[in-house]
Chains A and B, each alone.
Chain A
Amino acid sequence: MAEVRLENITKDFGRVRALEGLSFHIEDGEFFVLLGPTGAGKTTTLRTVAGLERPAAGRVLLGGEDATGWSPAQRDVAFVFQQYSLYPHLTVFENLAFPLRAPGKKLGAREIRRRVEEVAAKLRIESKLDNKATALSGGEMQRVSLGRALVREPACFLMDEPLSSLDAKLREGLRVELKHLQVELGATILYVTHDQVEAMTLADRVGVLVGGHLQQVGPPEEVYEYPDNLEVAQQMGHLPLNLFPVEEEAVRARGIDRIGVRAEHLRVLPEEQAGPDDLRAEVLRVERLGAEEVAFLRVGNRRLYAMGEEHGRFPDAGEVAVRVETDDSLAFDPSGRRLDRDPGGRGEAPPGGESPADAARRMARGLRD
Chain B
Amino acid sequence: MSTPKPQAPRPRRRGFSDRSLAWFFVGPSVLLLLAINIFPLVWNIYLSFTNYAANRPGTPVRGMGTRNYERLLSQEDVWESLQHTAHFVTWSIALQVLLGFGLAWLLSRKFRGSGLWTTLIVLPMMLSPAVVGTFWTYLFQPQIGIFNAIVGLFTGTTEFSMIANPNLAPWAIVLVDTWMWTPFIMLICLAGLNSVPRDLYEAAEIDGASSWRQFWTVTLPMVLPFLMLAVLFRGIENFKMFDMVNELTSGGPGSVTELANIYLKREAFEKWRTGYAAALAVILFVTVFGFANIYVKVWNAVKQR
Interface 9-mer from B13-21, B80-88, B127-135, B199-207: B199-207
Tell me, yes or no, whether B27 is within 8 Å of chain A by CB.
no
Tell me if A99 and B217 are in contact (CB < 8 A). no
**Which residues from B are CB-within-8-Å of A102?**
207-209
Whether B197 sits at the interface, judged by CB under 8 Å, is yes
Q: Which of A81, A98, A104 contacts B199 (CB 8 A)?
A: A81
- A99 near B222 with CB under 8 A, answer no
Q: Given A87-B217, A90-B217: A98 and B202 within 8 A (CB)?
A: no
Choose one: A77, A79, A103; the contact of B203 (CB below 8 Å). A79
B218 at the interface (CB under 8 A from A): yes
**Which residues of chain A come closer than 8 Å to B199, judged between CB atoms?**
81, 83, 85
CA distance A87 to B215 in the complex (A): 12
Q: Is the CB of B210 within 8 A of A103?
A: yes
Q: Quick check: is A11 within 8 A (CB to CB) of the other chain?
A: no
Chain A residues near B209: list those with CB within 8 A.
73, 98, 102
List the count of A-B residue pairs having beta carbons below 8 Å apart: 57
Instruction: Tell whether A103 pairs with B208 under 8 Å between CB atoms, given A85-B199, A85-B200, A98-B217.
Output: yes
Residue contact B202 to A79, C-beta cutoff 8 Å: yes
Known: A83-B199, A98-B217, A103-B210. A88 touches B205 (CB 8 A): no
Q: Answer whether residue B305 sits at the interface, using C-beta atoms and an 8 A cutoff.
A: yes
Q: Are A52 and B205 in contact (CB under 8 A)?
A: yes
A148 and B208 contact, Cβ closer than 8 Å, known pairs A52-B202, A81-B199 = no
How many whole Å from A96's CB to the nearest CB in chain B?
11
| Closest Cβ neighbor of A104 among chain B residues | B208
A72 touching B305, Cβ below 8 Å: no
For A88, what are the chain B residues with a Cβ–Cβ distance below 8 Å?
Answer: 221-222
- B206 in complex: contacting residue of A79, A87, A104, CB < 8 Å: A79
Measured between beta carbons, the chain B residues less than 8 angstroms from A103 are: 208, 210
Residue from B199, B204, B206, B209 with most neighbouring chain A CB atoms (10 Å) = B206
Residue of B202, B205, B210, B218 touching A87 (CB-CB under 8 A): B218
Contact present for B200 and A73 (CB under 8 Å): no
The B interface is mostly helix, strand or loop, or mixed, namely helix
| Binary flags per residue of A143-156, CB closer than 8 Å to B gives 1, else 0 | 00000100010000
A106 to B269, CA, bound (A): 68
In the complex, which residues of chain A have a beta carbon less than 8 angstroms from the beta carbon of B202? Answer: 52, 72, 79, 81, 85
Asked if A105 CB lies within 8 Å of chain B CBs, one says yes
> Are the C-beta atoms of B200 and A72 separated by less than 8 Å?
no
- Return the chain B residue nearest A73 by Cβ: B208
Interface hits, A57-72 → B, CB 8 Å: 71-72
Identify the interface centre among B207, B210, B218, B222: most chain A CB within 10 Å of its CB: B207
Residues of chain B contacted by A90 (CB below 8 angstroms): 217
Q: Please report the C-alpha to C-alpha distance between residue A90 and residue B207 in the assembled complex, in whole angstroms.
A: 15
Q: Mark A171-189, 1 if CB is under 8 A from B, else 0.
A: 0000000000000000000
- Min distance, Cβ A163 to any Cβ of chain B, angstroms: 17
- Complex formed: what's the CA distance from A128 to B200 in Å? 21
A154 shortest CB reach to chain B, Å: 9
Contacts of A132 in B (CB 8 A): 305
Residue of A nearest to B210 (CB): A103
Smallest CB separation, B214 vs chain A (Å): 10
Nearest CB to that of B304 among chain A residues? A132
B-contact bits for A290-315, CB 8 A (1 contact / 0 none): 00000000000000000000000000
Q: Are A99 and B221 in contact (CB under 8 A)?
A: no
Q: Is A77's CB under 8 angstroms from B207's CB?
A: no
CB distance from A50 to the nearest CB of B (A): 6
Rounded to whole angstroms, the CA-CA distance of A297 and B276 in the bound complex is: 91
User: What 1/0 flags go to B2-43 for Cβ under 8 Å of A?
Assistant: 000000000000000000000000000000000000000000
Q: Judge whether A78 is part of the interface by a CB distance below 8 angstroms.
A: yes
Which residues of chain B have C-beta atoms less than 8 A from A50's C-beta?
206
Interface positions of B from 277 to 305, Cβ below 8 Å from A:
305
Which residues of A329-364 are within 8 A (CB) of B?
none
- For residues 215 through 252 of chain B, which have their beta carbon under 8 Å from a beta carbon of chain A? 217-218, 221-222
Besides the contacts A73-B206, A132-B305, what 9 more A-B pairs have beta carbons closer than 8 Å?
A: A71-B205, A77-B206, A81-B202, A85-B197, A87-B217, A88-B221, A98-B207, A103-B208, A103-B210
